[in-house]
Amino acid sequence: MNSELRIAVLGVGRMGADHVQRITRTISGARVAVVNDYVTERAREIADTVPGARVVEDPIDAIADPEVDAVVLATPGPTHEKQLLACLEHGKPVMCEKPLTTSVETSLEVVRAEAATGKKLIQVGFMRRFDREYEQLKALLDSGDLGRALVVHCAHRNPEVPPHFDSAMIVRDSLVHEVDVARFLLDEEITKIQIIAPSANPAAPEGLRDPQIAIFTTESGRHVDAEVFVTTGIAYEVRTEVVAERGSAMIGLDVGLVRTSAPGVRGGTITPGFVERFGQAYDVEIQRWVDAVHAGAETGNYVDGPGAWDGYAAAAVCEAGVLSLESGEPVAVDMVARADISGA
Amino acid sequence: MNSELRIAVLGVGRMGADHVQRITRTISGARVAVVNDYVTERAREIADTVPGARVVEDPIDAIADPEVDAVVLATPGPTHEKQLLACLEHGKPVMCEKPLTTSVETSLEVVRAEAATGKKLIQVGFMRRFDREYEQLKALLDSGDLGRALVVHCAHRNPEVPPHFDSAMIVRDSLVHEVDVARFLLDEEITKIQIIAPSANPAAPEGLRDPQIAIFTTESGRHVDAEVFVTTGIAYEVRTEVVAERGSAMIGLDVGLVRTSAPGVRGGTITPGFVERFGQAYDVEIQRWVDAVHAGAETGNYVDGPGAWDGYAAAAVCEAGVLSLESGEPVAVDMVARADISGA
Amino acid sequence: MNSELRIAVLGVGRMGADHVQRITRTISGARVAVVNDYVTERAREIADTVPGARVVEDPIDAIADPEVDAVVLATPGPTHEKQLLACLEHGKPVMCEKPLTTSVETSLEVVRAEAATGKKLIQVGFMRRFDREYEQLKALLDSGDLGRALVVHCAHRNPEVPPHFDSAMIVRDSLVHEVDVARFLLDEEITKIQIIAPSANPAAPEGLRDPQIAIFTTESGRHVDAEVFVTTGIAYEVRTEVVAERGSAMIGLDVGLVRTSAPGVRGGTITPGFVERFGQAYDVEIQRWVDAVHAGAETGNYVDGPGAWDGYAAAAVCEAGVLSLESGEPVAVDMVARADISGA
Amino acid sequence: MNSELRIAVLGVGRMGADHVQRITRTISGARVAVVNDYVTERAREIADTVPGARVVEDPIDAIADPEVDAVVLATPGPTHEKQLLACLEHGKPVMCEKPLTTSVETSLEVVRAEAATGKKLIQVGFMRRFDREYEQLKALLDSGDLGRALVVHCAHRNPEVPPHFDSAMIVRDSLVHEVDVARFLLDEEITKIQIIAPSANPAAPEGLRDPQIAIFTTESGRHVDAEVFVTTGIAYEVRTEVVAERGSAMIGLDVGLVRTSAPGVRGGTITPGFVERFGQAYDVEIQRWVDAVHAGAETGNYVDGPGAWDGYAAAAVCEAGVLSLESGEPVAVDMVARADISGA
């Protein structure tokens, strides 16, 4: 495709505003064309940071706008149903932050309405599926190396939650991610759920049932348990272990995917080559350089990273190194003083 | 800046071709306008994959082209000097893959020529500085938490090298990265180098002095050692440990940065929040969705990830979960069968 | 105490025979005086390996023997009740391998009988309490650093089990260790238990409900879950994580105790000094040397480890090192050839 | 052998006193018969803690004593030569703490004198060879799995040293362990050594060259480097990595031996079975029980660990578990109250 996708971002609270920045600065092949928020002043503030973006005051108008190719929905959950149906009506692809809608019934209506279009237009923002570790874990399961998954253990810990967070929100806003992870990894539906609320953390707000332990049973009878604990005071810890027929694998220990790879051996994969190791570094390098060049017209500095001097210094050290390789003796590095070069 | 940077990519072997793809698909705010290669047919082949890109046959013409804002240099090292000087002459920012040039003398000339322009126009492709772990290590050193760095240990291991690789290339092409890492981390020049070539790996090609141990002394008398071993048969392992006044830190063990953080404690940082943990997942999610929307016109599938059904299923499970939270008993999940919804 | 404890070992199958060796070769302050087994021939075979040990054919006679100070019970479970009561009757301390007895009722009778003696004579072989990692975990909990424990997760995985192992044995022989661990760590009784048997491992023997998930509730309402999976084909994996008010700690990952030690920090303790790091090496060193000296009368070799030559070589290298420290130059090590010293 | 080895311990400063305790409480098959120290009062104090031990005032008399079978030498280095020669003269096996003697010449004399006896009587206290991780590393090298070792990297870090520690002592007292490790692992002599003293740790005492980097070359041309840094302020860190033809292995990271086990895979061994995992726990369990039984005559408590009640509680929980396994439902645990059993 030749042209950039023109996106309308609806709802520019923290998450929506992040998406605006992301699409503008990081994503290739798309730009923010329209910004909408129920607080119009907020929409304007955000739109002003994006060249070429304009504000549309009504969310349905924004969706219907002929100069909008696709929609990002970061509005409050209760508005999703109406906005999603509008997207379907106008045939606009939509990336909808969770929840799809705020009730099972209306979610099902949205599913049916999309099915009636004969297209897949709605994506839901379960972003963990795009996390490198979850992708690795899923790929490992799909490879068949571990055989069939039998049991999944999840832990989901937050240091703290906002004051209005209640016991049901632990299920709907936190556990929901483990629900999607379980369905994603096991490729089947959950048919039974049990929530155990043991004696609560004394440090949790009065009345909050925290931690909670959820137990899922799947269609084929597999077991998933998930600890959700949102007032740990420690950090954000999200961990998943799959125990399978021929081994187990765990992610979320801050050490990458760890698996039992063979009888008696526990291991991780070592990066096979420089592309895997430094591929992302190239992306960062070029993006920062592009940004620096954009900024350079004003400063005269078109560089964000090592410059010519660093290339020269490396050459001088390596030259001495090759001499030392021949002699085995220490060799002094012969370089001019940087101060002797005005401007270097 | 409003418009996209128009970049000429010179040299489209593996590295240059990767840069073309990167700029086209991943980098925001820039596009490939011109492709050049000493094999014109190769240039044409690559340019055909990029909407709006054209071939310019002569590299100096490509640099001088008025519709080129900046240059990526991925040509063979011996051509760099002339091309870099052309970039300077035309005031074009240039991202030059290592080496800067193939001799110390010409590198110095390039440094002087750039200094004479009064601008910083040349960036050299030492991409490790943009790697997350190296960035963390540098930030840790700059924070002062560990005090002054005293000793640096590096290891650089490749599973294998191409047949033409010789002992001096281990210095110039492999060790050169450790040279830059040492200069980057310690913020000073290397004044002495010694290369030790112990008894060689029997599996190395005849005559290749592999492994090699390099010892650097810096201006202020600090010590760096680097093992370079390019025929390990194992994997790509790049490791750096800094030993400092008040602790040490290591990267490259496939477990993130590990440091001694206090007397008697070794530790890593746990991800503090979901932004740090899943921020990159959001980037990937949105980029893939944008790509899927671009492709959707043909397939009717505008989704690459969880769809409306996944949103519905999550809602149904959480609803049952909230009921179980109240009763403490297992609750069956009430869902329609997916097969009953045509198209879902 | 001056004299060695005279121990009767009853039952010398694998476990009992190990105890005989342990007491004879490793344990200080005790010796095996009497060996008993229901297969007398087996008892004799084992007794023959221990200087000063004799066989007593009847287990009750062995317990009553006036030249027996204490008893190790490694007999089959069904015989425990009678043998334990005999120990109590004769006032003999007894170390009883699990189970205490094979029913709840007889176990309670034994408890009451011991209480009636006014002494603590019976120890049960829950050996995990003596494992370094469990000791560290318990000490951490007792220190109060993590606050009150709230949730415990256990995993207990065996590569395989003998053919006669059935679903109830997974509870009685495997899960029983997690029962003791939970009681040990939480210092309270378990009041409720639920066993979930999800879809079984296809590789498990027909009819074996494996894996099983156990859920315990304690007196104060705390939650413990334990996965027991005895046909993994992988290895012996025993893992325990305690989630507490102010952090969590895990053992059994083959990396020592790992804990969250402060907001945002995950860490392990680094060995503080050489006593902690090499203390056990000293024990091994001296024990092997003592064994070598015992054996030396026959061989003329009273050494199991580095000898005088190794001391000489170390001295020669260090001497050259001190010279190099002064000069900074490489120094050749001056040593005689080993072959020149007959016998060295 | 039937009888216990009668050992004379010469020198009962910290190390010698530890050996006295070790032989008395931990080591099987030996006892301390004679204690000697140049401060007789100190010898007496230590001997008083050991049943059956007596003081001999002159070290040579102690060695010659007909009721001494073997000698542990923990006296100051300058006295070693004379005492070792006395041991050889009387044919007494001796375990000599490092150094063998305080000069290369006298060490060689001792080697020659021992060779003349035709026996191996002298062992030197390089205890690292008995450390589990070093034993594993050596066994891995000997197995041939990694091929020939090519390069060894060592790090030896102390948090602090006593005030009198000088730069040469870093070589003779600290580096000497790395000397022995290198010789042990590579099975050949070191022929050349270079000590590099980079700019010193500002926190090190005035004049102390710390850290130091040692470079060894072995007979066959292999390379060893060792960082010794004794004023880190952090912890005791001793690390060794061997880089070999077909992989590498590292110990001392507080995570056991870590190796590259195959192309692209890094791993550690998982404990294969309960003997490996809990074998040492059994030793501790039985030793503590023996000690408790010794002490029990006074207290009436012959137990140090789980007692009969713990056996009963485990039985009750497992019984309920088996019922739950059948029904799938939670089952209450049926137990009497502990308080109802006087004395339990």
Summary mean pLDDT of chain C: 88
Q: Which of B258, B261, B324 to mutate to test the interface with C (most CBs of C within 10 A)?
A: B261
How far apart CA D4 and CA C290 sit, in angstroms, is 10
Element (H, E) at A260: strand A258-262
Cβ contact C223:C217 at 8 Å: yes
Q: How far is CA C7 from the centre of its chain?
A: 19
A91-119 pLDDT, tens digit per residue, is 999 999 989 999 999 999 999 999 999 99
Closest chain B residue to the Cα of C272, Cα to Cα? B264
Q: HEC string of C108-160?
A: HHHHHHHHHHCCECEEECCHHHHCHHHHHHHHHHHHCCCCCEEEEEEEEECCC
Q: For residue B268, which residues of chain A lie inside 8 Å, CB to CB?
A: 254
H-type helices in chain B, by residue range? 14-25, 40-47, 59-64, 80-89, 104-117, 132-143, 167-169, 176-186, 274-299, 308-327
Kindly determine whether residue C269 and residue B269, on different chains, have CB atoms separated by under 8 Å. Answer: no
Residue D2 has pLDDT above 60, yes or no: no
Q: pLDDT class for A50, splitting at 50, 70, 90?
A: very high
Closest to C293 in 3D by CA, of D69, B270, B152: D69
In sequence order, which residues have a C-beta less than 8 Å from that of residue C302 and are 6 or more positions away?
C292, C293, C296, D70, D93, D119, D120, D121, D123
Kindly determine whether residue D201 and residue B248, on different chains, have CB atoms separated by under 8 Å. Answer: no
Kindly determine whether residue A227 and residue C153, on different chains, have CB atoms separated by under 8 Å. Answer: yes
Higher pLDDT, A247 or B222: B222
What pLDDT is recorded for position C1?
Answer: 36
Comparing CB atoms, the residue among C147, C201, C225 nearest residue A150 is C201
Cβ contact C196:D328 at 8 Å: yes
In chain A, DSSP finds a helix count (H) and a strand count (E) of: 10, 15
Q: pLDDT class for D308, splitting at 50, 70, 90?
A: confident
Cβ contact D155:D226 at 8 Å: yes
Q: For residue B264, which residues of chain C lie inside 8 Å, CB to CB?
A: 269-270, 272
Kindly determine whether residue A266 and residue D266, on different chains, have CB atoms separated by under 8 Å. Answer: no
Q: pLDDT class for A186, splitting at 50, 70, 90?
A: very high
H-type helices in A129-230, by residue range? 132-143, 167-169, 176-186
> Which stretches of chain C sit within 8 Å of chain B by CB?
260-261, 264-270, 272
Specify the range with the lowest mean pLDDT, choosing from A13-27, B102-116, D36-50, D284-298: D284-298
> Which stretches of chain A sit within 8 Å of chain D by CB?
260-261, 264-270, 272
Cβ contact C344:D115 at 8 Å: yes
- Residue C176's identity, in one-letter code, is V
How far apart CA A276 and CA B298 sit, in angstroms, is 32
Phi/psi of residue A3, each to 5°? -100, 165
What pLDDT is recorded for position D275?
Answer: 67
Kindly determine whether residue C26 and residue D330, on different chains, have CB atoms separated by under 8 Å. Answer: no
Q: Is the preceding omega at residue A211 within 30 degrees of 0, hence cis?
A: yes
The residue-averaged pLDDT of B200-217 equals 93
Kindly determine whether residue B128 and residue A280, on different chains, have CB atoms separated by under 8 Å. Answer: no
- What spatial distance separates the first Cα and last Cα of chain D, rounded to whole Å? 43
Kindly determine whether residue B287 and residue A159, on different chains, have CB atoms separated by under 8 Å. Answer: no
Residue D269 has pLDDT above 90, yes or no: no
The residue-averaged pLDDT of C136-150 equals 92
Cβ contact A127:B285 at 8 Å: yes
Cβ contact C236:D274 at 8 Å: yes
Q: Calculate the alpha carbon distances from B332 to A223, A225, B319, B329, C214 in Å.
A: 14, 16, 10, 10, 20
The residue-averaged pLDDT of A263-281 equals 66
Q: pLDDT class for D47, splitting at 50, 70, 90?
A: very high
Please report all neighbours of A, defined by 3+ CB atom pairs within 8 A.
Answer: B, C, D
Interstrand relation of C331-332 and C265-269 (parallel, antiparallel or unpaired): unpaired
How far apart CA A154 and CA C205 sit, in angstroms, is 28
Q: How far is CA B289 from the centre of its chain?
A: 24
Higher pLDDT, B273 or C82: C82
How far apart CA D216 and CA D218 sit, in angstroms, is 6
The residue-averaged pLDDT of B17-34 equals 91
B137-170 pLDDT, tens digit per residue, is 999 999 998 899 999 999 999 888 998 999 999 9
Closest chain B residue to the Cα of C264, Cα to Cα? B270
In sequence order, which residues have a C-beta less than 8 Å from that of residue C276 and are 6 or more positions away?
D236
Comparing CB atoms, the residue among D18, D179, D320 nearest residue C317 is D179
The reply to whether ipTM tops 0.85 is no
Q: pLDDT class for B2, splitting at 50, 70, 90?
A: very low
* Distance to chain B for D255, nearest Cα, Å: 12
Q: What percent of chain A has pLDDT over 90?
A: 58
How far apart CA B152 and CA B187 sit, in angstroms, is 13
Kindly determine whether residue C260 and residue B269, on different chains, have CB atoms separated by under 8 Å. Answer: no
Kindly determine whether residue D344 and residue C2, on different chains, have CB atoms separated by under 8 Å. Answer: no
Domain C129-267 sits in CATH 3.40.50.2000: no
What pLDDT is recorded for position D40?
Answer: 96
Q: What SS3 state is found at A240?
A: strand
Q: Which of C153, C156, C199 to mutate to test the interface with A (most CBs of A within 10 A)?
A: C199
Considering B56-65, B257-266, C318-327, the range whose residues carry the highest mean pLDDT is B56-65
* Distance to chain A for C341, nearest Cα, Å: 34
Kindly determine whether residue C183 and residue D314, on different chains, have CB atoms separated by under 8 Å. Answer: yes
- Residue C81's identity, in one-letter code, is E
Residue the block writes with tokens 């961990």: A239
Kindly determine whether residue A212 and residue B301, on different chains, have CB atoms separated by under 8 Å. Answer: no
What pLDDT is recorded for position C155?
Answer: 94
Kindly determine whether residue A243 and residue C202, on different chains, have CB atoms separated by under 8 Å. Answer: no
Cβ contact A309:B107 at 8 Å: no
CA dihedral A135, A140, A142, A144 (to 10 degrees): 180
Specify the range with the lowest mean pLDDT, choosing from A201-210, B55-64, D17-26, D313-322: D313-322
Kindly determine whether residue C324 and residue D293, on different chains, have CB atoms separated by under 8 Å. Answer: no
* Distance to chain B for C221, nearest Cα, Å: 13
DSSP per-residue letters across C297-324? HHHSB--SS-BHHHHHHHHHHHHHHHHH
Residue A314 has pLDDT above 50, yes or no: yes
Q: Calculate the alpha carbon distances from D177 to C192, D119, D122, D182, D183 in Å.
A: 55, 26, 18, 9, 10
B273-297 pLDDT, tens digit per residue, is 666 677 777 788 887 888 888 888 8
* Distance to chain A for D104, nearest Cα, Å: 29
Comparing CB atoms, the residue among B171, B184, B338 nearest residue A318 is B171
Kindly determine whether residue D237 and residue C270, on different chains, have CB atoms separated by under 8 Å. Answer: yes
Q: For residue C269, which residues of chain B lie inside 8 Å, CB to CB?
A: 264-266
Q: What percent of chain C has pLDDT over 70?
A: 93
The residue-averaged pLDDT of B82-86 equals 97
What pLDDT is recorded for position C2?
Answer: 41
What pLDDT is recorded for position B4?
Answer: 83
A291-305 pLDDT, tens digit per residue, is 888 888 888 888 888
> Which stretches of chain A sit within 8 Å of chain C by CB?
147-148, 150-151, 153, 155, 157, 159, 196, 198-199, 201-203, 211, 213, 215, 217, 220-223, 225, 227, 229, 232-235, 237, 243, 245-248, 254, 260, 262-266
Specify the range with the lowest mean pLDDT, choosing from A172-181, B169-178, C198-207, D257-266: D257-266
What pLDDT is recorded for position A261?
Answer: 59
Q: What is the DSSP letter of B17?
A: H
* Distance to chain D for A262, nearest Cα, Å: 10
What pLDDT is recorded for position B254?
Answer: 67
What pLDDT is recorded for position C266?
Answer: 59
- CATH of the structural domain B5-125, one choice from 3.40.50.720, 3.40.50.920, 3.50.50.60, 3.30.750.24: 3.40.50.720
* Distance to chain D for A217, nearest Cα, Å: 13
Kindly determine whether residue C263 and residue A201, on different chains, have CB atoms separated by under 8 Å. Answer: no
Cβ contact C83:C110 at 8 Å: no
Q: What is the DSSP letter of C170?
A: I
Comparing CB atoms, the residue among B265, B268, B269 nearest residue C270 is B265
* Distance to chain D for C255, nearest Cα, Å: 4
Give me the helix-helix angle, C104-117 and D308-327, nearest 10°.
170
Residue A274 has pLDDT above 70, yes or no: no
Phi/psi of residue D268, each to 5°? -125, 165
Element (H, E) at D249: strand D247-251
Give bridge partners of residue B55 from the DSSP assignment.
B35
Tokens at residue A252, please?
């979320």
How far apart CA C179 and CA B317 sit, in angstroms, is 31
List Cβ<8 Å contacts ≥24 apart for C199-202: C199/A150, C199/A220, C199/A221, C199/A222, C201/A150, C201/A245, C201/C229, C201/C231, C201/C232, C202/A147, C202/A148, C202/A245
Tokens at residue A278, please?
């430094």
Tokens at residue B64, please?
């001088």
Q: For residue C304, which residues of chain D lie inside 8 Å, CB to CB?
A: 123
What pLDDT is recorded for position C311?
Answer: 83
The residue-averaged pLDDT of B222-249 equals 91
Q: Calculate the alpha carbon distances from B70 to B30, B56, B96, B198, C218 in Å.
A: 10, 14, 11, 45, 68
* Distance to chain A for D250, nearest Cα, Å: 14
Closest to A161 in 3D by CA, of A177, A142, A174: A174
The residue-averaged pLDDT of C306-326 equals 84
Sequence spans of domains, chain C = 5-125, 129-267, 274-340
What pLDDT is recorded for position A2?
Answer: 42
Element (H, E) at D275: helix D274-299
In sequence order, which residues have a C-beta less than 8 Å from that of residue D153 and are 6 or more positions away?
B153, B155, B227, D224, D225, D226, D239, D240, D241, D243
Residue D314 has pLDDT above 80, yes or no: yes
* Distance to chain C for D147, nearest Cα, Å: 24
Element (H, E) at A275: helix A274-299
Tokens at residue D212, please?
């130091």
Q: For residue A158, which residues of chain C lie inside 8 Å, CB to CB?
A: none
The residue-averaged pLDDT of A316-338 equals 85
What pLDDT is recorded for position A1?
Answer: 36
The sign of the torsion formed by the CA atoms of B281, B284, B288, B289 equals: positive
H-type helices in chain C, by residue range? 14-25, 40-47, 59-64, 80-89, 104-117, 132-143, 167-169, 176-186, 274-299, 308-327
- Write down the pTM of the prediction: 0.82
Q: For residue A246, which residues of chain C lie inside 8 Å, CB to CB?
A: 203, 233-234
Residue B133 has pLDDT above 80, yes or no: yes
Q: What SS3 state is found at B287?
A: helix
Closest chain C residue to the Cα of A261, Cα to Cα? C234
